[in-house]
Amino acid sequence: MESEHGGDIYSFAKRLGIRPEEVIDFSSNINCYSPKVEKDFNEIDVRPYADPNYTSLKEALAAKYEVGSDQVALFNGASSAIATLLGLYSKATIYAPAYGEYRRYAKSVTLINRFENLFDFPLQNSLVVFVNPSTPDGDYIALQQLFEIWQMQNCTVLIDESFLEFTEFDSALSFLQEYPKLYILKSMTKFYACAGVRVGTVISTPENIQQLQKHIPMWNISTFDEVYIKEALKDKRFELDVKFQIKQDKKLLFRLLERSEYVEKIYFSDTNFFLVKLKGIDAYGLQEMCDQENILIRNCENFDFLDRFHVRFAVRPKEDVAVLKKVLDA
Amino acid sequence: MESEHGGDIYSFAKRLGIRPEEVIDFSSNINCYSPKVEKDFNEIDVRPYADPNYTSLKEALAAKYEVGSDQVALFNGASSAIATLLGLYSKATIYAPAYGEYRRYAKSVTLINRFENLFDFPLQNSLVVFVNPSTPDGDYIALQQLFEIWQMQNCTVLIDESFLEFTEFDSALSFLQEYPKLYILKSMTKFYACAGVRVGTVISTPENIQQLQKHIPMWNISTFDEVYIKEALKDKRFELDVKFQIKQDKKLLFRLLERSEYVEKIYFSDTNFFLVKLKGIDAYGLQEMCDQENILIRNCENFDFLDRFHVRFAVRPKEDVAVLKKVLDA
């Protein structure tokens, strides 16, 4: 069986006897469009140690998010940031369903079912984990009321904004001044379409970042990845163009899902994927049908509060949606 | 001031007002020769998630070290492996001087001065850290007797073999069968001359590796780095050629150090660097002289049991040694 995460095109391709490049991957929710990266990667000198402070990369990210570069900590991917941050707190409150790595690294965990009890009180003094927009459904929540609750409960707050760039909504960064017990996680992977490039960014107050830095191993970013992200951030048109394009593709996918006899409900999504509740077939049955077209989808059974009738589809270009149509319109 | 680690050519260059490429770096003890990596890095597709098990990279490393691929865990650099392993033990016994990151991540630490008391007993049940060949001096120690002591004290043992490939000596891997509480750390950085490529390898029993894997975040290796290491390992001539070449260069450096009026003692080295005790000048004074020639050397004052009269020089090509000669023969 495939990995419990999305995007494992290798196991899937092996099982089908095809090459990983032949997989049409609706399972991983990264951007299906890539920024222009105009750099000769054969010219990169990997011999020397990188600047141990990754000064220029931090400056580029700080400029993008309009914070000071002393407010930025870099991790080898968002998963690594999650492992480190969750490891620092004895109690976590996770608004679920959420990305599985949060539970994996929480020392002890309380879940809040955000579909049903969004305004429940989190455990006092715990680390609150809130993904905004959420996975696997893609809903963006305005956070003012929640911050009031979190403050009452004296929680430290981690907002995962891995998918925020697909939306027009505000970052929780604006809360940082009045609520300093706050960490914002930014993944480069999703919007910049580079799951193979391992850079995750945590933004907080300079004091928090200085403390956090003590838990980050030396030289945790590949020189290749450092260059890649700096170059990707230079493509300023990308953000505008891609949002427009994804909106078009998203409509197409929505229409296909909406009229499929297998779809009971499409969850509201502000971002580049849809969570779907199936009817008359479960995720395993639909996966089997998708196998025929080399299509990989995300079975969401292993998310908290979901079951084997939930699957996720990422927004993809219309050619790929046309192939998916063969399965869903059958 | 420069970073407390070697190899920070960026701060050094900035202070001297030169470009990092102009620095002659005797401070970082990585190989001054590089393997042939015949791959077009512009063709690498970084969009998909990597194989979450890094199967093919593990197989390549397992073949190199002649172990099973289920005996291999991969980290984002040796420093990251150190952080994770040391974090798992409440007590560490470090044979010092050693790489500073060991102390940084030890929860509580006892030091053994390996210059003076090599056969002292380590703390019972502690995690023993032994770097072989050592830094900053480069001495290789046959481990049979030490393993007897470690066994008596019921220690778990971590042998850091980052520099072993520069020698003809045996790996501690041969102890694994009779001593399963053993981890061997291999850094790709040093011998394969790629400090910017972040892959550190830990080898142990399949059972230990399975346990360790629980503490490793998902997708912790860059796709670029994965490709780089796989390609570097294909250059089979490199290992032979470079050992010969380094031996020539090492003799040249040794002769220069030996006759310098500033050198009181050259520590015995089995590898690609020399630790030197200075006379008539301290590390700061010598660094100042080296500044004139854009030469960066490693002040070893911050190593345990050493002082400001200790510096380290990496083996470098004869052109660079010729520049160093201007300083040391002055």
Residue A145 burial class via C-beta count within 10 angstroms: exposed 0-12, middle 13-18, buried 19 and up: exposed
| A220 shares contact with chain B (CB less than 8 Å) | yes
**Residue pointed to by tokens 């520049």:** B323
- Tell me how close the Cα of B238 comes to any Cα of chain A, in angstroms: 15
Give dist(CA A224, CA A236) in Å, integer: 21
Nearest CA in chain B to A5: B52
Q: Side by side, which strands form the sheet with A156-160? A: A72-75, A200-203, A182-187, A156-160, A127-131, A92-96, A109-113
- Report the pLDDT value the prediction gives residue B1, as an integer from 0 to 100: 40
* Residue A178 vs residues A39, A156, A173, A296: alpha-carbon distances, Å: 41, 13, 10, 44
Give the mean pLDDT of A75-80: 96
Q: Which chain A residue is nearest to residue B34, measuring alpha carbons? A: A47
Mean pLDDT of chain A: 95
Name the pairing type of β-strands B263-266 and B273-278: antiparallel
Residues A43, A32: Cα–Cα separation, whole Å: 27
Residue A130 pLDDT: 98
Nearest to A7 among B48, B193, B225 (CB): B48
Report pLDDT for B329.
87
d(CA B314, nearest CA chain A) in Å? 13
Looking at residues A51-64, what average pLDDT do you find?
Answer: 96
Phi first, then psi, for residue B211 (nearest 5°) are -65, -45
Q: What is the pLDDT of residue A7?
A: 75
Euclidean distance between the first and final Cα of chain B, in Å?
A: 25
Residue A204 has pLDDT above 50, yes or no: yes
Domains and CATH numbers, chain A: 9-30+238-328 (3.90.1150.10), 49-233 (3.40.640.10)
Per-residue model confidence (pLDDT) at position A2: 46
Per-residue pLDDT of A93-146, as tens digits, reads 999 999 999 999 999 999 999 999 999 999 999 999 999 999 999 999 999 999
Question: Tell me, what's the pLDDT at A288?
Answer: 97
Residue A77 has pLDDT above 50, yes or no: yes
Given a cut of 50, whether residue B2 has pLDDT beyond it is: no
Token pair belonging to A11: 């196991």
* pLDDT tens track for B211-259: 999 999 999 999 999 999 999 999 999 988 999 999 999 999 999 999 9
Please determine, for residue A234, whether its predicted confidence score (pLDDT) is greater than 80: yes
Rg (CA), chain A: 20
User: The tokens of A78 are what?
Assistant: 């968002």
**Whether pLDDT at B3 is above 60:** no
For chain A, positions 26-85, list CB contacts with chain B under 8 A: 28, 30, 34, 40-42, 44-52, 55, 76-77, 79-80, 82-83
**Sign of the alpha-carbon torsion through A139, A144, A150, A153:** negative
Q: How far is CA B294 from CA A45, A318, B285, B288, in A?
A: 19, 57, 15, 10
Q: Which of B199, B190, B123 is nearest to B156 (CA)?
A: B123
Name every chain A residue with its beta carbon within 8 A of the beta carbon of B198: 76, 219-222
Q: Please name the residue that has the structure tokens 């809040």.
A: A112
Coil, helix or strand for B112? strand
Per the CB < 8 A criterion, the answer to whether A317 and A328 are in contact is no
Residue range A295-305, pLDDT digits in tens: 999 999 999 99
Tell me what pLDDT residue A329 has. Answer: 87
- Which conformational region is residue B154 in: left (phi greater than 0), alpha (psi within -120 to 50 degrees), or beta? left
Q: What is the pLDDT of residues B35-93, one digit of tens each?
A: 999 999 999 999 999 999 999 999 999 999 999 999 999 999 999 999 999 999 999 99
User: Alpha helices of B174-222 — where are they, by DSSP H?
Assistant: 206-213
Task: Read off the pLDDT band of A1 (50, 70, 90).
Answer: very low
Q: Report helix, strand or coil for B308.
A: coil
Q: Where are the beta strands (DSSP E) in chain B?
A: 24-25, 72-75, 92-96, 109-113, 127-131, 156-160, 182-187, 200-203, 263-266, 273-278, 295-296, 298-299, 310-314
Question: For residue B8, what pLDDT band results from cuts at 50, 70 and 90?
Answer: confident
Q: Quote the CA–CA distance of A172 and A160 in Å, as a whole number.
A: 9
Exposed / middle / buried, residue B316 (Cβ in 10 Å: 0-12, 13-18, 19+): buried
One DSSP character per residue, A156-202 reads: EEEEE-TTGGGSSPPPGGGGTTT--SEEEEEESTTTTT-TTS--EEE
- B110, B92 in Cβ contact below 8 A? yes
Yes or no, beta carbons of B197 and A77 under 8 Å apart: no
* Contact assessment for residue A192 and residue A228, using Cβ atoms and an 8 Å cutoff: no
CA angle B48, B49, B50 (to 5 degrees): 110
Whether the per-residue pLDDT at A3 is higher than 60: the answer is: no
In chain B, % of residues over pLDDT 70: 98
- For residue B140, which phi and psi values (nearest 5 degrees)? -100, 135
B272 touches chain A (CB under 8 A): no
Is B196 within 8 Å of A20 when comparing Cβ atoms?
no
For B201: left if phi > 0, alpha if psi spans -120 to 50, otherwise beta; the answer is beta
Question: Which helix (H) or strand (E) covers residue A265, if one does?
Answer: strand A263-266
* B14-19 contacts, C-beta under 8 A, 24 or more apart: B16/B291, B16/B294, B18/B294
Q: Is B17 on the interface with A (CB under 8 A)?
A: no
Three-state DSSP class for A226?
Answer: helix
How far are the Cα atoms of A186, B97, B147, B171, B208 from residue B143, in angstroms, in the given order?
46, 17, 6, 10, 21
Q: What is the pLDDT of residue A5?
A: 73
Beta carbons of B77 and A228 less than 8 Å apart: no
- Angle, vertex CA A94, rays to CA A88 and CA A98, nearest 5: 115
In angstroms, rounded to a whole number, what is the distance separating the alpha carbons of residues A256 and A99?
26
- Classify A278 as helix, strand or coil: strand
Partner residues linked to A157 by β-bridges: A128, A182
Banded pLDDT at B330 (limits 50, 70, 90)? low
**Host H or E run for residue A298:** strand A298-299
Asked if B20's CB is within 8 angstroms of A47's CB, the reply is no
Q: Give the C-alpha separation, B41 to B65, whole Å.
A: 26
DSSP B165: G
The answer to whether ipTM exceeds 0.90 is yes
Q: What is the pLDDT of residue A6?
A: 74
pTM for the full model? 0.94
Per-residue pLDDT at B4 = 63
Is residue B8 a contact partner of residue A219, using CB atoms and an 8 Å limit? Answer: no
Average pLDDT of the residues in B194-222: 97
| Other C-beta atoms lying within 10 Å of the C-beta of residue B305 | 13
10 Å Cβ neighbour count for A56? 15
